Amino acid sequence: MSFIGQLPRFAVVAALALTTPALTSIVHAEGAQPVAQGSEAAAADAAKKGVAATTIDRVKQAAQTATDILSRVPCRTPKGGTKAMGTLPHVAGKLAAHKPVVIVAFGSSSTQGHGSTAPEFTYPNRLAAQLRRAYPGADITVLNRGKGGEDAPEMMARLQAEVINSKPDLVIWQLGTNAVLRNLDPGETGKMIEDGVGRIQAGGSDVVLVDPQYSPATVEKPESTSKMLALMHKVAELRKVGYFPRFEVMKEWHEGQQMAFSSFVIADGLHMNDWGYACFAQLLGDNIIKSVGTIKMGTNEPAQQQAQRPL
């Protein structure tokens, strides 16, 4: 049996995703040259074997990376669950009509993926993979519009061009952490968030707000963090939009599940690592799926979403 045949299914999927460019280049190389004769054929065979060996090594490395992430502690739903996001009518309508769904992940460095070891391990890419598994007949695109160091003032400046003009069905807006770290005025930040949510809704999109992360950097500023959390909750209630309590989820990892910060946060004390992004994406995806409801897309959505560990 080949090496790939002996791998767990999830490892093979991750491995192939990482090695697709290499495999594509092999196909192109083979198609560009005529079949050689004699010694040239032997040389070509040797070259092919060398490329194949390199590809297998990449598969092994990718599979090991996936295994390392998945072998950590399970990704469990916080005690008491997370607050329902509402119905997400635009997403549900597109799925029901078998039309393409566009999701924009809007935010700062934790949306961009700072701290992840590869692009496929960022939360937007993890989320896209989960939603495509849940709705295999759907055309789902998740656009990453994260930019490190930003908060509401900078995000508002690019809201139209990078978010609204994409005509998304759902905008997942992550913000607040940099506002806390930069000591931005909470009242002004709240006004910008409410204005931004209103503009997104007017463009015909569902909205989910994602609050600051729970990490050593934010724990050091409890008063500012508490104000930001209250402010974002208030905006979500006023504008009737979805809300994902990332702060409470990460706090549960640390205090409820007794996980060290180093288990889900990198050495800078702020950004999540691969496991943290994977679990965050898994729980966020579970909530989106529950909010959308059961929709037939060739196969039925599972009746109960189980978030045992990031996939």
Per-residue pLDDT of 36-70, as tens digits, reads 444 555 555 555 556 556 655 554 554 455 445 64
pLDDT at 267 over 70: yes
Q: Decide if 301 is inside a domain.
A: no
Question: Dihedral sign, CA of 95, 101, 106, 109?
Answer: positive
Average pLDDT over residues 8-26: 37
What pLDDT does residue 78 have?
Answer: 80
Structural domain count, the chain: 2
pLDDT at 287 over 80: yes
State the pLDDT confidence band at 82, using cuts at 50, 70 and 90. Answer: low
Q: Decide if 272 is inside a domain.
A: yes
What pLDDT does residue 94 have?
Answer: 95
CATH number reported for the structural domain that contains residue 106 in this entry: 3.40.50.1110
- Domain extent, residue 46, equals 3-70
pTM of the full predicted structure? 0.74
pLDDT at 188 over 90: yes
Return mean pLDDT, the chain.
79
Residues 183 and 279 reside in one and the same domain: yes
Residues 117 and 57 reside in one and the same domain: no
